[in-house]
Amino acid sequence: MAVVSANTTVMNNVEAVRATLYDALKSDERVCILGEDVGARGNVFLITKDFVGEFGERRIIDTPIAEASIVGIAVGMAMEGLRPVAEIQFADFIYPSFNQIVGEAAKIRYRSNGEYTCPMVIRTPYGGGVRGALSHSVSIEALFYHVPGLKIVAPSFPADVKGLLNTAIDDPDPVMFLEHKKTYRLIKGEVPNGHYTIPLGKANVLKEGTQLSVVSYGLYVHWALEAARQLEGEGISVEVIDLRSIRPMDKTAILQSVEKTRKLLIIHEDNKFGGIGAEISAMVAEEALFHLDAPIRRLCGPDVPAMGYALPLEEEFMSSPAEMADAMREMVKF
């Protein structure tokens, strides 16, 4: 990390996660972290390196390889007034904890008629582009997107990582915090010093445009932005929106953009069928159909069970900046 001014520090995404967690532990005794290898090893990405020495084993808790227990214990901690951050080492391992997330954490407030809340964060790295194959490349957002009572965040930039993670820790209800592992060290940026928050449900218009609206999140935001900037040289004006918060979603930002450009392309890495893009498509069709000059298009992962290890298989699954640029050209020409 490099301090560039009295007000900001340059970090990559993984450094932003580490710094935010450290500050939260330092400032609030209720915050604790639990998960596999978060203690002595300091997390597989070294996010919690040396935390256990400073904060102790009661707050930095190494758990067995038992994801259902990690989340279930965090639910109990949250209901008793703590602010647990439960780490699932990779999103691909989250399935055993599904019932604790969906059947317990997401329903605590509703089933207790507001008597209890469940202020916990479930952090996990997701996504491909790292040759992780079947067990280290999955996108899980659509599996949980259907669940009322659960919030889902997927930041793309270091400053958003810090602001949104602070918000997630402060939130009285469970928040899933998805970190695209490909962006951990790839993406760098200036991060404001000190404590700040970014509200959930507020998208970020990264680039304004007039001919096409592109909505994305995670790694693909960076690639979509690269493609859109490339097309500027061809006289094509593309607006790029980073959702940041998947649920709640900033419907207003999407609709305002579509009403201006009259065309919509949704890009995400997760499978196309039943994905986030399907919900955005339905929302725009219901609320802005007569503003559209072209059919809505989704550029997403194919309907195969997993991403292959072999590089050609991984590249076939993922959409490249060049493929995104081609899709943008086709939409504008429609």
Catalytic residues: 136
Among 308, 298, 289, 291, smallest CA distance to 331 is for 298
Pairing state between β 121-126 and 175-180: parallel
| Sign of the alpha-carbon torsion through 203, 327, 316, 272 | positive
What are the tokens at 220? 């693909």
DSSP at 103: I
Identify whether the C-beta of residue 301 lies closer than 8 Å to the C-beta of residue 318.
yes
Dihedrals phi, psi of 303, to nearest 5 degrees? -85, 70
CA distance linking residue 79 with residue 61, whole number of Å: 18
| Cβ pair 84, 121 in contact under 8 A | yes
Q: Which residue has the tokens 């904060």?
A: 55
316 closest CA partner among 303, 327, 328: 303
State both tokens at 332. 């504008």
Q: Which of 191, 222, 242 is nearest to 129 (CA)?
A: 222
Query: Can you tell me the distance from the alpha carbon of 244 to that of 200, in angstroms, rounded to the nearest whole number?
Result: 8
Cα pseudo-dihedral 110, 21, 60, 37, rounded to 10: 100
**How many other C-beta atoms lie within 10 A of the C-beta of residue 311?**
9
HSE of 310, CA atoms in CB hemisphere, 13 A: 3
Rounded distance, CA 305 to CA 307, Å? 7
